[in-house]
């Protein structure tokens, strides 16, 4: 049960992270204060959207995961408030050189994964336990309360963009490691790491001119793995993370429901199969 709870919390953190947060002179264009735009985007959190996201993780020093892990997702998202988010994402991924395609769905009450033609579920009990834990947690320790606005260091405007079909202002900044301390602590707890990882890198966003939503979000970071957790990752010392998300149809109705079909097996069965293939999935 604890492993399933950690898994569903990790899925919730990943979904919240993927969607993102809730100067310069460009010739004839007026000067824009990037911090004002970022503050405005933080005041307009993305409650629902159609999401396109991609991530690439490269483990440095790992004897097990010697090739990059890639992930692409596409589909609707709805924030969960006091429970894990809801989403219905088609995905494609690659690990150990093995391509995988499938679907991952969260209704906020259960979570499902379809892969290799097999259907798995986390289980309503594990999801309820995760949601109960979220509701018992103080606001400052909320594992899904990510604040990407605070991750932007000294921001600068880089010009106009068009993301998710919306004209937006491109903003870039170094990652603020100090501001990330709470998020990293929450992430470490959700993933059962011994201590929060270190992080350094850059962050970019594109804020809509008219609606002030964050339509694009990208991170390029080096994440240091705590020494005590390196063995389970084949001795990896750090992870190079490249993440980009584009949000469209922000605020519109998004339909999410239990996937069709049946025969759902416990998600633990998939973890056992992956461990047999040499992929270190905690049980």
* CA 134 – CA 278 distance, rounded (Å): 32
Strand partners, 223: 199, 239
Residue 283: what pLDDT? 47
Looking from the CA of 154 toward its CB, the CA atoms found within 13 Å total 1
Contacts of range 136-145, beta carbons closer than 8 Å, 24 or more positions apart = 140/182, 141/186, 142/186, 143/9, 143/12, 143/13, 143/186, 143/187, 143/189, 143/190, 144/12, 144/13, 144/16, 144/80, 144/84, 144/85, 145/186
Whole-angstrom CA distances from 264 to 118, 239, 254 are 8, 33, 24
Question: pLDDT per residue over 179-223, tens digit each?
Answer: 777 667 766 776 677 888 888 999 999 999 999 999 999 999 998
Three-class SS of residue 268? helix
Average pLDDT value for residue range 21-50: 75
Residue 131: what pLDDT? 85
Question: pLDDT per residue over 75-123, tens digit each?
Answer: 999 988 778 899 999 999 998 788 889 999 999 999 999 988 889 998 8
Q: Which tokens is 242 given? A: 């490249």
pTM higher than 0.85: no
Q: Which tokens is 234 given? A: 């084949």
Residue 191: what pLDDT? 64
Q: What is the 3-state secondary structure (H, E, C) of 19-81?
A: HCCCCCCCCCCCCCCHHHHHHHHHCCCCCEEEEEEEEEEEEECCCCCCCCEEEEEEEEEECCC
Residue 80: what pLDDT? 81
Residue pair 45/69 in contact (Cβ under 8 Å)? The answer is no
CA angle 117/51/192 to nearest 5° reads 70
Give the residue among 124, 130, 87, 137 at the shortest CA–CA distance from 107: 87
On whether the 2-22+24-276 domain is CATH 3.40.640.10, my answer is no
Looking from the CA of 194 toward its CB, the CA atoms found within 13 Å total 9
Q: Which tokens is 7 given? A: 């898994």
Other CB atoms within a 10 A radius of the CB of residue 174 amount to 14
* CA 71 – CA 55 distance, rounded (Å): 5
Average pLDDT value for residue range 6-14: 55
Q: What is the 3-state secondary structure (H, E, C) of 163-227?
A: ECCEEEEEEEEEECCCCCHHHHHHHHHHCCCCCCCEEEEEEEEEEECCCCCEEEEEEEEEEECCH
Three-class SS of residue 104? strand
CA angle 168/169/173 to nearest 5° reads 135
Question: pLDDT per residue over 219-241, tens digit each?
Answer: 999 988 888 888 877 888 998 99
């Amino acid at each position: 049960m604890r492993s399933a709870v950690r898994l569903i919390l990790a899925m919730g953190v990943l979904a919240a992270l993927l969607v993102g947060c809730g100067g310069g002179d460009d010739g004839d264009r007026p000067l824009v204060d990037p911090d004002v735009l970022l503050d405005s985007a933080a005041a307009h959190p993305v409650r629902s959207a159609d999401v396109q996201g991609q991530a690439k993780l490269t483990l440095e020093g790992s004897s097990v995961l010697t090739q990059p892990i890639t992930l692409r997702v596409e589909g609707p998202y709805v924030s969960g408030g006091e429970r894990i988010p809801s989403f219905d994402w088609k995905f494609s991924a690659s690990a150990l050189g093995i391509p995988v395609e499938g679907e991952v769905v969260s209704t906020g009450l259960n979570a499902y994964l379809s892969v290799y033609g097999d259907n798995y579920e986390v289980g309503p009990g594990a999801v309820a336990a995760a949601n109960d834990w979220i509701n018992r947690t103080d606001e400052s320790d909320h594992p899904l309360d990510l604040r990407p606005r605070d991750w932007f260091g000294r921001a600068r405007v880089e010009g106009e963009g068009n993301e998710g079909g919306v004209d937006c202002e491109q903003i870039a900044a170094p990652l603020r490691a100090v501001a990330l301390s709470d998020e990293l602590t929450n992430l470490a707890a959700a993933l059962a790491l011994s201590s929060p990882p270190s992080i350094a890198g850059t962050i970019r966003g594109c804020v809509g001119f008219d609606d002030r939503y964050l339509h694009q979000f990208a991170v390029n970071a080096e994440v240091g793995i705590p020494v005590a957790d390196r063995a389970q990752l084949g001795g990896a010392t750090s992870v190079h993370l490249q993440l980009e998300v584009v949000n469209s149809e922000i605020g519109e109705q998004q339909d999410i429901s239990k996937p069709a079909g049946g025969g759902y097996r416990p998600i633990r069965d998939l973890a056992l199969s992956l461990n047999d293939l040499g992929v270190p999935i905690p049980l």
